[in-house]
C-alpha cells in the first residue's frame, strides 16, 4: 500500500514545530505544556489529570489534528493510533513507586497507577476523538524511524485502517520529553 505523511509536529520542552517550522516557544513561568493548552484554546479539563506522557502525546495529537482541519469528534474506525517510545511509562512508574516505598506511609493511588501503562496515551487520544480503530503502543530499544515505518506499514494490513496517527512520544520527567507525531494516510 502507498502511504504519505500529511502533517508532522514536534514538541520538546523548548518549542513546538509544525512541518519543520517553529510555531511556538516556551516562555518562563508555567509549564510549556500548559501554555500550549491555553494557546490552542482547548476546553478539555481532563488534560490536567493526565500524567506528563499523556499530556505530551495528547497535545501533539491535538495540534496535528487541528492542522488537518477535518471534522472532528465524529465516531470512526478507519484511523489507527500507534505510538512508540523506549522507556514505557517510566515517569508514572517512579511516581507510583514513591507511594508504596514506605510501609509507614503507604498510599497507593489509583489515579497514579492507571498511568503506569504507556498505552493510556493512545486511549486518551481515542477517547478525545472518538476513534474506535486500532490503538497500540510499541516499545523500541532505541528511536528508529525505520522500525516505526515498518510498524506503520504493517498497521495498514488491517482492512479498516485508512490513516494512522503515529509517532514517538517519550517523557521521562516533567521537564524531559519529546513528541514527534505525524498523520500517515493511504493514497
Partner 1 sequence: MIVKKIGDSMMTPLGFSVEENFAAVMAGRSALRRYESLWGLPFPCVVSLIPDEKLETAFAQEVDTKNLSGKCTKFEKIVLLSAAKAVKQSGIDPSSERVVFILSSTKGNVALLADENPDLERVTPAHTAQMIANYFGNPNRPLTVSNACISGLCAQIEAYRCLKSGQYDTAVVIGADVLSPFIVAGFQSLKALSDEQCRPFSANRKGLNLGEAAAAVVYTVADDVADGWQMVAGAVRNDANHISGPSRTGEGSYRTLMTVLDESGLLANDLACLNVHGTSTLYNDEMEAIAITRAGLNQVPVNAMKGYYGHTLGAAGVLETLLTMRALEKGKIPATRGFDEIGVTMPVPVSSESVDTQKNAFVKLLSGFGGCNAAAAFVNGYGL
> What does the binding site for partner 1 look like in residue numbers (CB under 8 A)?
75, 77, 81, 86-88, 90, 93-94, 96-97, 100-101, 103, 106, 108-110, 113-114, 116-120, 122-124, 126-127, 129-142, 144, 147, 150-151, 153-155, 157-160
Q: Is 52 exposed, middle or buried (0-12, 13-18, 19+ CB in 10 A)?
A: buried
DSSP state of 74: -
- In the complex, least distance from residue 159 CB atom to partner 1, rounded to whole angstroms: 6
Nearer to partner 1, 15 or 100 (CB): 100
- Residue 129 contacts residue 65 (beta carbons within 8 Å): yes
Nearer to partner 1, 40 or 87 (CB): 87
Rounded distance between C-alpha atoms, residue 163 and residue 172, angstroms: 28
Q: Return the SS3 of 169.
A: strand
- In the complex, least distance from residue 174 CB atom to partner 1, rounded to whole angstroms: 16
Phi and psi torsions of 59, nearest 5°: -60, -45
- Tell me the three cell numbers of residue 177: 520529553
Q: Return the SS3 of 83.
A: strand
- In the complex, least distance from residue 51 CB atom to partner 1, rounded to whole angstroms: 11
Nearer to partner 1, 48 or 106 (CB): 106
Nearer to partner 1, 31 or 119 (CB): 119
- In the complex, least distance from residue 158 CB atom to partner 1, rounded to whole angstroms: 6
Regarding beta strands 135-139 and 79-85, do their DSSP bridges make them parallel or antiparallel, or are they unpaired?
A: parallel
Nearer to partner 1, 61 or 116 (CB): 116
Amino acid at each position: 500500500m502507498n502511504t504519505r505523511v500529511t502533517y508532522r509536529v514536534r514538541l520538546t520542552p523548548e518549542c513546538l514545530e509544525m512541518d519543520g517550522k517553529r510555531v511556538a516557544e516556551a516562555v518562563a513561568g508555567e509549564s510549556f505544556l500548559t501554555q500550549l493548552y491555553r494557546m490552542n484554546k482547548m476546553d478539555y479539563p481532563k488534560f490536567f489529570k493526565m500524567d506528563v506522557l499523556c499530556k505530551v502525546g495528547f497535545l501533539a495529537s491535538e495540534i496535528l489534528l487541528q492542522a488537518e482541519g477535518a471534522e472532528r469528534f465524529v465516531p470512526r474506525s478507519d484511523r489507527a493510533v500507534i505510538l512508540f517510545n523506549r522507556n514505557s511509562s517510566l515517569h508514572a512508574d517512579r511516581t507510583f513507586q514513591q507511594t508504596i516505598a514506605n510501609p509507614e506511609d503507604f498510599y497507593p493511588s489509583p489515579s497514579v497507577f492507571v498511568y503506569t501503562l504507556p498505552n493510556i496515551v493512545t486511549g486518551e487520544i481515542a477517547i478525545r476523538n472518538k476513534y474506535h480503530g486500532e490503538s497500540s503502543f510499541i516499545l523500541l530499544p532505541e528511536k528508529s524511524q525505520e522500525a516505526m515505518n515498518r510498524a506503520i506499514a504493517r498497521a495498514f494490513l488491517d482492512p479498516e485502517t485508512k490513516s494512522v496517527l503515529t509517532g514517538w512520544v517519550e517523557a521521562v520527567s516533567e521537564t524531559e520529553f519529546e513528541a514527534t507525531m505525524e498523520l500517515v494516510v493511504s493514497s
